[in-house]
Amino acid sequence: MLKTTQLSFIESLKREKETDDWTFNGASTREITHCYHDYPARMIPQVAGKLLDLFGISAKYLFDPYCGSGTSLVEANIRGINAYGTDLNPLARLIAKAKTATPDIELLEKQIAIFTRMALSDKLRKVKEMPEIYGISRLDFWFKPVVIDRLVRIRAFINEITNEEIRLFFQVAFSETVRESSNTRNEEFKLYRYNEEKLAKFNPDVYGIMSAKLQRNLEGYKKFKAIIDNLKHPPFTNIYSFNTVNEIPEDLIQPESIDIVVTSPPYGDSGTTVAYGQYSRLSAAWLELEEPDKIDRKLMGGKPLKDLPLFPSDSLNIAINEIRKADEKRAREVASFYVDLLDSISNVAKVIKKGGYACYVVGNRKVKGVVLPTDIAVRNFFENHGFEHVNTFIRSIPNKRMPSKNSPTNAAGVLDSTMTQEYIVVMRCSSTNLIR
């Protein structure tokens, strides 16, 4: 008979073999409810799925502290795993809630049929008074008058839907419709208006866009629902808005209760990496979500630091010191992000069970020509809390929609290739809270 040590050696060889390819070149990233809505720096569902298959086989509870559009929550659910997620961006929470909701299919189909019939025969009720869209000061700069008229009517129709899950389903389709029918360049996550020439020819069929999105999402939803209905125990998903940098409320997630964390934190502060707030602004305003303009300042690395702190990671300290030699202020800005990441990891570590896993998908961006070793920082921060390093898988990014070039000096026209690889850091909790 094989001894335990031999077994785990064989097991690790097997894992090594199974983990060769993390690229998933050519794989569709828009299956099931993943088709609902685009999102900046969205995680590839296959990465979350593979991590769960390798490290979450007997998991009951997953937590994603930066859940964004909810990729890992959906992947957990289809494996029968209950999911908790949190995100400061209200649009992200709305998408994640919609993607994990399970409305009644018959009711949903009926509502879609009513909408399509009314919209395509131009019978959606006209709204008497033009409502104010908070958060967009120049509505006519971003939308043509006929587009505004249609969006107002669709919104009024959605607001009358009483079933919350069905309303959510319509809201995510509406959010993408807002974006697609706005005067913004769709291929960008930041808000850039079309030039005059393009604008003159731009006549979006707002009702057609909305109907097509509802239909596409319905097909994705049916597949998701079929998988969930086949599970022995239907999983639950709770999505919150707490900031793990400050705390994880014990009444929402208890200490040492989570089997696995699968997450992708932001790459750095919103100002110089991905502006989640800006991406969400138009949709959030139309959907009357909370003050979209203020989000970017609340996200990681938004607070200025007076001094440069020392981190429990030599590699990170060395990198930040290199940046400091070129630009002290920039070094403090960069450090601010890692202060938040460290605080967040300290709190996340406490909710993971002994033997549980933390899987962080990160990018090592370059600032002032210096590569910031975020993968090593994440590893060191968790090691500081009684976790051991299991593996760091390197994945080249074939098609992720994010800035693959940025300006490391923050000067226009000085570009550098960055973030063509991501690092999947897997840590295992080897102690209990008592000694963490």
Per CB under 6 A, residues contacting ligand SAM are 39, 41-43, 66, 68-69, 71, 86-89, 92, 243-245, 264, 266, 276, 299-300
Which helix or strand (DSSP H or E) is residue 6 part of?
Answer: helix 4-18
What distance in Å separates the CA atoms of residue 73 and residue 138, rounded to the nearest whole number? 36
Shortest approach of ligand SAM to residue 95 CB, angstroms? 8
Is the Cβ of residue 281 or residue 324 nearer to ligand SAM in the bound state? 281
Is the Cβ of residue 303 or residue 368 nearer to ligand SAM in the bound state? 303
Place of tokens 């929470």: 93
Place of tokens 């202060």: 339
Most distant pair of Cα atoms in the chain: their distance: 79
Taking the CA atoms of residue 292, residue 297, residue 298 and residue 302 in that order, the dihedral angle to the nearest 10 degrees is 160
Shortest approach of ligand SAM to residue 38 CB, angstroms? 9
Is the Cβ of residue 211 or residue 244 nearer to ligand SAM in the bound state? 244
Shortest approach of ligand SAM to residue 395 CB, angstroms? 14
Shortest approach of ligand SAM to residue 151 CB, angstroms? 24
Shortest approach of ligand SAM to residue 39 CB, angstroms? 4
Shortest approach of ligand SAM to residue 246 CB, angstroms? 8
Is the Cβ of residue 92 or residue 370 nearer to ligand SAM in the bound state? 92
Is the Cβ of residue 152 or residue 375 nearer to ligand SAM in the bound state? 375
Which is it for the CA torsion 253, 259, 263, 265, positive or negative? positive
* Helices 328-351 and 374-383: angle between axes, nearest 10 degrees: 40
Residue nearest to ligand SAM as judged by C-beta position: 68
Q: What is the DSSP annotation of 69-96?
A: T-HHHHHHHTTT-EEEEE-S-HHHHHHH
Question: Is residue 85 left, alpha or beta, with left meaning phi > 0 and alpha meaning psi from -120 to 50?
Answer: beta
Is the Cβ of residue 91 or residue 148 nearer to ligand SAM in the bound state? 91
CA distances from 319 to 40, 212, 265, 301, 377 (A): 26, 48, 19, 17, 11
Shortest approach of ligand SAM to residue 289 CB, angstroms? 13
SS3 for 382? helix
Residue 334 amino acid letter: V
Is the Cβ of residue 241 or residue 396 nearer to ligand SAM in the bound state? 241
Which DSSP symbol is given to 34? G
Which helix or strand (DSSP H or E) is residue 364 part of?
Answer: none
